[in-house]
Copies of this chain bind each other. A is one copy, B any other.
Amino acid sequence: MQTQRSDKDQTGSAPLTATLLTIGDELSRGEIIDSNAAFLGSELTALGVYVRKRVGCNDRLEDIVAALDEAAQTGSLIVASGGLGPTSDDLTVDAVSAWLGVQPVQEPVHEERMRRRFIERNFAITPNNLRQVRIPSGATVLANRTGAAPGFAVQKGEVRAFFLPGVPKEMKPMFVEQAIPLVRQLLPPTVTVRRIYRTLGLGESHVDHRLADLLDVTEARRHAQQVAVTIHYRLAFPEVLVTLLARGEQADQVEAALAVLDEEVRRRLGHALYGTGEDELAAVVERALLERGQTLATAESCTGGMIGQTLTAVPGSSAYYLGGIVAYDNSVKRGVLGVSESTLTEHGAVSEACVRQMAESVRKLLGTTYGVAVSGIAGPGGGTQDKPVGTVWLAASSPERTLCRLIQWPGDREQVRKIATAAALNLVHKLMFPERLSDAALRL
């Protein structure tokens, strides 16, 4: 299944080809999902590096050395993570030393910091602790500001290799702050710019269809000589993200090409486009609420708290999100939210009348500008012929009006709840920007 229309030969002839190496038995045994490779792949791609291969090997010295030898044949850049810890199973430093034919040495800055910490805490330092601050002799240190073990960079022939800790919280800042500047030095002086467009309400194939032949528009073609642009799609369920990656020799040329495409992308995506860059839907709703000094309350049935949790995942959300009612059982819909008995009897809990009352009631109860409500059938049980699993009623209420919306999107329990949460936030956003309601093609 492919959603990319980038030219393979073009990316294949990227100025640098890289192999990712993730080290650790726990990854092979599937006890941890390898999220480091995805992070590194994404960052390197954004730099204009072609990631040709991902390799995962266990904590065995000879396997790590063999993987390095292999990787050195695939390309001129190796980015590795894992195996820098304190135990006898952590063999990356030894393996890299063996690969280079050098000895491991203590790295003085991290060693000194470790000794200071142990003294402060009145602990005795052990040889195992000191294992962690070793690097291969002659390697360039990559400082670890969130953990004990330093990373390092080495060179063997034409190949540059970076070794990072396996813990994502240590690996990520080290890579971004220290490895990327060194990788940039290996790249020709090109400018690479990434633009992310966030859409909701269109399936991946529909987004793809709307953007087909984007790169063929006349204005964009004008720039094709100077700027190489690729377009990538990513499903971040239920959202679809579109990434434009532009590379050229001069910043103004890259920006000019992207400006043409930006206008075209916005036009074609229409109101499915809810934001750009890294901000997710909750953050987009946050910004709109903060700018207007308005507040929001939630009334949740099938999502059981997921909307509140999503809103409060953003730091500072207390400025606009006051709280809500999880009305999972009908007794809470009646008793706390005042949904009428007749509504529940005549229309059921999954109905327009019910979510309308829930949204209006929670808005008044908590004294907020907006109220949003969800009631649906998340499954796997509870579906009927009229209201199958995946049926969700939503309402968003302001002092002026209440919008109601029915979605029916079959999926498993978690998907239905995620769709309902995204659709609820989207409906609030539409209530704040009514022009976003006009696209009939949107499913959310």
Are B31 and A27 in contact, CB atoms less than 8 angstroms apart?
Answer: no
Are B45 and A53 in contact, CB atoms less than 8 angstroms apart?
Answer: no
Are A329 and B335 in contact, CB atoms less than 8 angstroms apart?
Answer: no
Known: A2-B59, A300-B305. A42 touches B31 (CB 8 A): yes
Which of A113-121, A307-315, A427-435 lies on the face that meets chain B?
A307-315
A436 at the interface (CB under 8 A from B): no
A405 at the interface (CB under 8 A from B): no
Which A residues between 1 and 55 are near B, CB-CB below 8 angstroms?
1-4, 8, 12, 20, 22, 24-35, 37-45, 51-55
Are A298 and B317 in contact, CB atoms less than 8 angstroms apart?
Answer: no
Are A3 and B26 in contact, CB atoms less than 8 angstroms apart?
Answer: yes
Known: A53-B57, A54-B55, A365-B336. A45 touches B33 (CB 8 A): no
Contacts of A331 in B (CB 8 A): 322, 366-367
The one of B22, B30, B234, B329 that contacts A323, using a Cβ cutoff of 8 Å: B329
A275 at the interface (CB under 8 A from B): no
A340 at the interface (CB under 8 A from B): no
Are A332 and B322 in contact, CB atoms less than 8 angstroms apart?
Answer: yes
| Number of residues of chain A lying within 8 A (CB) of chain B | 95
Known: A166-B1, A311-B304. A56 touches B37 (CB 8 A): yes
| Most chain B beta-carbon contacts within 10 A, residue among A31, A42, A311 | A31
Known: A27-B38, A30-B37. A56 touches B59 (CB 8 A): no
**Complex Cα gap A58–B74 (Å):** 12
Are B30 and A39 in contact, CB atoms less than 8 angstroms apart?
Answer: yes
Contacts of A317 in B (CB 8 A): 304, 328
Are B34 and A316 in contact, CB atoms less than 8 angstroms apart?
Answer: no
| Most chain B beta-carbon contacts within 10 A, residue among A26, A89, A243 | A26
With CB as the reference atom, state the residue of chain B lying closest to A301: B323
Q: How far apart are A293's CB and chain B's nearest CB, in angstroms?
A: 15
Q: How far apart are A4's CB and chain B's nearest CB, in angstroms?
A: 6
Q: How far apart are A183's CB and chain B's nearest CB, in angstroms?
A: 15
Indicate how many identical chains form the complex: 2
Are A87 and B1 in contact, CB atoms less than 8 angstroms apart?
Answer: yes
Contacts of A136 in B (CB 8 A): none
Are B234 and A26 in contact, CB atoms less than 8 angstroms apart?
Answer: yes
**Complex Cα gap A55–B51 (Å):** 13
**Complex Cα gap A146–B277 (Å):** 34
Are B37 and A51 in contact, CB atoms less than 8 angstroms apart?
Answer: no
Are B34 and A33 in contact, CB atoms less than 8 angstroms apart?
Answer: yes
A351 at the interface (CB under 8 A from B): no
Contacts of A43 in B (CB 8 A): 30
Are A324 and B322 in contact, CB atoms less than 8 angstroms apart?
Answer: no
Known: A53-B56, A316-B381, A326-B323. A307 touches B305 (CB 8 A): yes
**Complex Cα gap A29–B35 (Å):** 12
**Complex Cα gap A41–B29 (Å):** 5
Contacts of A315 in B (CB 8 A): 378-381, 413
Are B58 and A56 in contact, CB atoms less than 8 angstroms apart?
Answer: no
A133 at the interface (CB under 8 A from B): no
Q: How far apart are A78's CB and chain B's nearest CB, in angstroms?
A: 14
- 4 tightest A-B CB contacts, nearest first: A304-B312, A305-B308, A305-B305, A30-B42
Chain A residues at the B interface, C-beta cutoff of 8 Å: 1-4, 8, 12, 20, 22, 24-35, 37-45, 51-60, 63, 67, 70, 85-90, 166-167, 232-234, 243, 298, 300, 302-313, 315-318, 321-329, 331-332, 335-336, 365-367, 378-381, 413-414, 417
